[in-house]
């Protein structure tokens, strides 16, 4: 059984903390994979200090060379793709094909960001003043913290760490303690790529301890967080009070709208995939089906047919199992009609939960409003397009959405009106590509978007330069 070590200033160092957490296989909790020591606050400060000390050297590395480091990381991850996917499946619970998909997405992210390093460009502009050259440039913001969740423990660290390194920042990486092995492997990938000591530091720690230190430490200039709303909003408030840049990607309650003119087989495929893929444990999962009453019965039957055949992994841990179970019991009390699932499969050894569908869900009830983060689909019936848009928007979250229809006019009206940062047409709610911005509206996200060119912008500052080449004193200058 492995005891996972911190990675500080280029060295693997065991924490001195007496507080530990077990790394369990969610498919078989008797399989103890390893043990995590929850670092002391002093050890977290050491990680920040190491990143701060390494920053001048890393920012001085040319942008093309920083890109080459990321490309070598891509190649290292590609070589170890199967190994990383196997570890991800064992400690997080994804099916192996889902884990392989996540690792491939991470490879794609590194490929994009390796090129983005050389696209960190400024612009020139004419000056009001004669013989003056004006231009802008982007410079790294400094030490940044990447605080990541357990549900995508390879991809999310990559999409935070890679743009930070491309911009010339150094990083303190605080992963979820439920997935320590994949965090270690991610760091090893960057280590193999030749990243200099201190440019990337890994520290395992309790969330409260890490949050407090990262907010208070003066060397930390920015924090990128993915996780719960309660934690994210506290980080955002506390970080703002210290003048730090903070971005948070938090909850979602994503709706698929299916109109009466939709291809119902296509919609059913996408809904089942979005609701039950990755056991519903993704922020972009399909949580609500908003369906026109004219096709509701037929569509629900098609989704049920697919759901009973779907293969799912377990929920990540006992706490998540309890959360999903509580949401199901609450929906029953509210009067929603249980059509499928609602319990653990008979004889389940791990933290499994059957695909679950509720019909006749009130759009204002808890099941339609609160994030479950499990394989539970809430069906809300509507009688018109306008009502469908209203229901889709009547939640505090705004990450992703989808519409199934054959009417271009209504599709475009939906795309314009829906209050989500991402929307899909005739395809599932989940998914995002490395070159496009990722993030949400309302209480889903605060701060700038992740991925794409927006990612590097978060980790960099703009500097405007005025170069007077007259060699003479200005007689007057109103600026």
Catalytic residue positions, numbered: 249, 283
What sign does the dihedral 269-365-249-402 (CA atoms) show?
A: positive
DSSP states of 231-264 as a string? HHHHHHHHHHHTT-EEEEE----EEEEE-TTS-H
Can you say how many angstroms the Cα of residue 9 is from the centroid of all Cα atoms in its chain? 26
> Beta strands of 101-154 (E only): which ranges?
124-125, 132-140, 143-147
**109: Cβ contacts below 8 Å, ≥ 6 apart:** 155, 158, 159, 162, 434, 451
**Both ends of the chain: CA-CA distance in Å?**
66
The CB-based long-range contact list for 306-309 (8 Å cut-off, 24+ gap) reads: 306/268, 306/269, 306/272, 307/272, 307/275, 307/276, 307/340, 307/341, 307/355, 307/357, 308/340, 308/355
Beta bridge partners of 146: 173, 224
In the three-class reduction of DSSP (H, G, I as helix; E, B as strand; rest coil), residue 229 is classed as helix
Quick one: tokens of 313? Answer: 């992994």
Give burial (CB, 10 Å; 0-12/13-18/19+) of 205.
buried
Strands of 20-25's sheet in order across: 2-4, 28-37, 20-25
- Residue 450's DSSP bridge partners are 438
Structure token digits, residue 220 = 């930390």
Tokens of 411: 């599709």
Contact (CB, 8 A) for 58 and 196:
yes
- Owner of token pair 């930070």: 164
Around Cβ 139, how many Cβ atoms within 10 Å? 15
């Amino acid at each position: 059984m492995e005891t996972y070590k911190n990675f500080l200033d280029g060295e693997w160092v065991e924490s001195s903390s007496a507080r530990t957490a077990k790394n369990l296989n969610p498919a078989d909790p008797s399989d103890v994979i390893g043990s995590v020591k929850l670092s002391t606050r002093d050890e977290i400060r050491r990680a920040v200090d190491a990143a701060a000390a390494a920053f001048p050297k890393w920012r001085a590395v040319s942008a093309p060379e920083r890109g080459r480091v990321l490309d070598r990381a891509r190649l290292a991850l590609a070589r170890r793709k199967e190994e990383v996917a196997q570890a991800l499946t064992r400690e997080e619970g994804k099916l192996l094909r889902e884990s392989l998909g996540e690792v491939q997405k991470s490879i794609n992210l590194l490929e994009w960001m390796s090129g983005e390093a050389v696209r960190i460009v400024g612009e020139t502009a004419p000056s009001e003043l004669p013989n003056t050259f004006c231009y802008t440039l982007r410079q790294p913001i400094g030490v940044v913290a990447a605080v990541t969740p357990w549900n995508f423990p390879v991809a999310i660290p990559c999409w935070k760490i890679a743009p930070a390194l491309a911009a010339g920042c150094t990083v303190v990486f605080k992963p979820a303690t439920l997935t320590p092995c994949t965090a270690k492997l991610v760091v090893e990938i960057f280590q193999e790529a030749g990243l200099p000591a201190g440019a990337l530091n890994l520290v395992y720690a309790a969330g409260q301890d890490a949050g407090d230190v990262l907010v208070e430490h003066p060397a930390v200039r920015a924090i990128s967080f993915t996780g719960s709303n309660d934690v994210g909003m506290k980080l955002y408030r506390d970080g703002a009070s210290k003048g730090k840049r903070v971005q948070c990607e938090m909850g979602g309650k994503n709706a698929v709208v299916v109109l009466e003119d939709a291809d119902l087989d296509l919609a059913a495929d996408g809904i089942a995939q979005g609701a039950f893929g990755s056991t519903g444990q993704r922020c972009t999962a399909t949580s609500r089906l908003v369906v026109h009453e004219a096709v509701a019965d037929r569509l629900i039957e098609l989704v049920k047919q697919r759901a009973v055949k779907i293969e799912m992994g377990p929920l990540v841990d006992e706490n998540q199992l309890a959360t999903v179970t509580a949401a199901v019991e609450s929906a029953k009390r509210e009067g929603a009609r249980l059509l499928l699932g609602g319990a653990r499969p008979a004889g389940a050894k791990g933290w499994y939960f059957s695909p679950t569908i509720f019909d006749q869900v009130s759009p204002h009830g808890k099941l339609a409003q609160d994030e479950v983060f499990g394989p539970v689909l809430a069906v809300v019936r509507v009688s018109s397009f306008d009502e469908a848009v209203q229901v889709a928007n009547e939640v505090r979250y705004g990450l992703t959405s989808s519409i199934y229809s054959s009417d271009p006019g209504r599709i475009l009206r939906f795309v314009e009106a829906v209050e989500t940062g991402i929307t899909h047409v005739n395809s599932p709610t989940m998914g995002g590509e490395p070159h496009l911005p990722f993030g949400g509206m309302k209480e889903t996200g605060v701060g700038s978007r992740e991925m794409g060119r927006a990612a590097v912008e978060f980790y960099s500052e703009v500097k405007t330069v005025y170069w007077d080449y007259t060699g003479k004193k200005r007689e007057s200058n109103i600026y």
